[in-house]
Every structure is written in structure tokens, then in C-alpha cells.
Amino acid sequence: MRRREFLTAAGVGLATTAIVAPAIAQSMPELKWRLTSSFPKTLDIIYGASEVFAKAVAEATANRFQIQTFAAGEIVPGLQAADAVSNGTVEMCHTASYYYVGKDPPFAFGTAVPFALNSRMQNAWQYFGGGMELMNEFYRRYNLYGIPAGNTGARTGGWFRKEIKDPADLNGLKFRIGGYAGRVLQKLGAVPQQIAGGDIYAALQKGTIDAAEWVGPSDDEKLGFHRVAPFYYYPGWWAGGAMLHNFINIDRWNELPPIYKSVVRTTSDMSSMWMQARYDAANPAALKRLVVSGAQLKQFPPGVMDACLRTSLDLYAEVSATNPTFKKVWDSMLAFRNDQYLWWQVAEYTFDTFQIRTRTRA
């Protein structure tokens, strides 16, 4: 095609797009939804992901689909976000699936379980390993439709008032920890506490708890844990990649026009990338500041890690024996993880290990 013909054709195409786009927008219904988050506004990354999502939905639909976001406590407490969606109080929420393991153990797999997947493996399992289908088959029982919408990346191991030198030091320890790790630690003598993010500092300061984990340096610095508990442990073996979800009331989801469903899926994916990128960018500088402020960075001793791994595997076998859904999902995730590490050992691990050893040469 000659240049003039090409430009003429392109002009017609652009004009057609300009005419069609508003027509499509006008044909879409106007919807106003409410989203309740499990997180306070002070945690600008984990809460901010829901605002990024809502803004993107509005932009993609010419403001015809608007989602108003509410922080934890503005409609319901943070740990009741999924309940509010299930019973129809709000249309959707942004939360961590593993907050609801008390209802049913398989909820844990939507976020993270001890010694399982890192964040990239979690994404791969959810999207291409059957994870999303398995989880939504389960979520349907609770009137929920789940879409991944964030990941914190690998977690740190939390803040402790005293050193943890061996498994015996966990005995009697009152530890704020979410998800399935609390059950693992309980078998080792700890006393797990599930406390919403905005309430952890006060509990740690008052001595109601002896230790607490949240996400990582960026959030931990904002929450001020280093001021009341000096020992900062790693790694957070309970969450190699903690995934967040947009939970949508399943009736509201089924009522959405296909184009809106596509927008919600796409913008949820975008908020997932945004969240982990923000954490990855913010955590290094925050960790430096915490150490300068007096945080004592410590690695969990091998004996503690081994005891937690053994206890986790025993617990998975115990629950699998009585909960067929748990067993089905765990078997899927475990097989996927083991194959993934064959590849990571060849590629990611060897590359990262070399880079870490040689990073000061440049």
C-alpha cells in the first residue's frame, strides 16, 4: 500500500474508533459497587492496591463502572471482609484468603501455606496449574468468586521480644500470625493470635502478644514494630509469596456483563503487578533504616526451621485425612512446587546466588 493510501485508511480507522468507542461506553450499564479492604489506609501499598484497581476499572469503562474503596473498619472490621461479601453487605473485598482458615482449612491455599510456593510459583499455579479453578470451586461454597489481586512477595519472619534459639523457645510464645502457620506453631507450643494489621502495634506494646509478623520492612517500619520488639527474624517460612484476592459476591459476579468481567480480571492482574513491584522497590531502603534504628536482624536457626517443616508436613497429612478438598488442593500445589524447583534450581537459584555473591564488584 502506498503512503497516501495507508494514511487515508488509517484516518478512516481512527475516525471509526473515535465513533465506536463512545457508543460502546454508552451501551454499558452504570454500576456503583463498594469494596471493603482488610487493610488500613496507613499501609499505602497493600491498601493502595485496591485504590489502583478501582481507578483502573473506572478509567477502562469511561466511569460507568465505579467501585468505591473502604479501609478496614469503615464498613466492617478487616478480618470480616469476606463475610461482608458472602452475605451481600458489599459487592466485593480485597483481602487475604488465609484469614478465613477458621471457617475451612482450604482458604489457606489462596494466600500461602508454610513451605510451599514463592510469588511467581503462586501465580503460575493459579493461572496455569489449575489453582484458580480449584480455589473457585471451593470459594463457591461461600458465595465468593476469587481473582488474584496482589502479592507481597516473600515475607520476613516477624518481630520478637526475645531471641529464638531453638524450638523450645516457641513454647508459650504469644505470636500474632495469620493463616495456617498459626496451627503449625500451636503444635510447637506457641499461642497464635489473629489480629488485624492496624491493631498489632498496640497488642505488642502492651505485652498482649510476645511477637508479631506482618509483611516486610516497608509495612513493618510504618507500623513501628521495631520500637517495641528488637529481634527481627527471617525468613517468613509461612509465606514464600503471599497472594491477595479480590473476592466478589458470586451473584454480583454472574450478573456482570462480559466486558465488565474482562475489565475486572485485567485490572486485578494490573494491581497484582503494581503491589509486588512497589514492595520490591520499597523494602530494601526500609530494611536499612530499620537496622540503623536498632533492629537486630536474625535468621531463624536451622533447628527451628526443621521443626517447623516437619510439623507442617505432619499437619497437612492430618488435615488431608479428614478434608478431601484440602487434600486435593495440597496435592496439586505440592506437585507443582516440586516440578518448579527443578527449574528454579537450574536457572533462578544459580543466577541469584551468583549475583548475591558478586554484587559488590560493580
Per the domain annotation, does 163 fall within a domain? yes
Per the domain annotation, does 282 fall within a domain? no
- For the entire predicted model, the pTM comes to 0.90
Percent of the chain with pLDDT over 70: 93
Number of domains in the chain: 1
Q: 148-179 burial string, b = 16+ CB within 10 Å, else e?
A: bbbbbbbbbbbbbbeebeebebbeebbbbbbb
For residue 25, name the pLDDT band (cuts at 50, 70, 90).
low
Has residue 141 got a pLDDT over 50?
yes
For residue 24, name the pLDDT band (cuts at 50, 70, 90).
low
Per the domain annotation, does 333 fall within a domain? no
Has residue 14 got a pLDDT over 60?
no
Per the domain annotation, does 304 fall within a domain? yes
Residue 17: its pLDDT value, please?
38
- In this structure, the dihedral spanned by the alpha carbons of residues 173, 178, 182 and 184, taken in order and rounded to 10 degrees, is -130
**CA proximity to 234, closest of 148, 316, 335, 305:** 305
Per the domain annotation, does 320 fall within a domain? yes
Has residue 23 got a pLDDT over 60?
no
Angle between helices 324-346 and 348-358 (to 10 degrees): 50
CA 60 from centroid of its chain's CA atoms: 24
Q: Give residue 20's region: left, alpha or beta (phi > 0; psi -120 to 50).
A: alpha
The amino acid occupying position 326 is F
Q: To 5 degrees, how large is the angle CA 180–CA 150–CA 154?
A: 55
Distances (CA, A) of 266 to 54, 69, 272, 278: 12, 18, 10, 19
DSSP character string of 100-136: GTTT-GGGGGGT--TT---HHHHHHHHHHSSHHHHHH
Residues with Cβ within 8 Å of residue 298, at least 6 apart in sequence? 163, 164, 231, 232, 233, 234
Helix and strand totals (H; E) in the chain:
13, 11
What is the extent of the structural domain holding 315?
Answer: 158-238+288-324
| Average pLDDT of every residue of the chain | 93
Give the three-state DSSP class for 152.
coil
Mean pLDDT, rounded, for 132-151? 98
Q: To 5 degrees, how large is the angle CA 113–CA 117–CA 119?
A: 110
For residue 26, name the pLDDT band (cuts at 50, 70, 90).
low
Has residue 67 got a pLDDT over 80?
yes
Angle between helices 324-346 and 119-128 (to 10 degrees): 120
Per the domain annotation, does 194 fall within a domain? yes
List of E strands, 265-350: 296-299
The residue count of the chain comes to 362
* Nearest-angstrom CA–CA distance, 106 and 248: 18
Per the domain annotation, does 319 fall within a domain? yes
Per the domain annotation, does 214 fall within a domain? yes
**Residue 167 belongs to domain with CATH number:** 3.40.190.10
- 311-337 pLDDT per residue, tens: 999 999 999 999 999 999 999 999 999
- 154-183 pLDDT per residue, tens: 999 999 999 999 999 999 999 999 888 999
Residue 196: its pLDDT value, please?
87
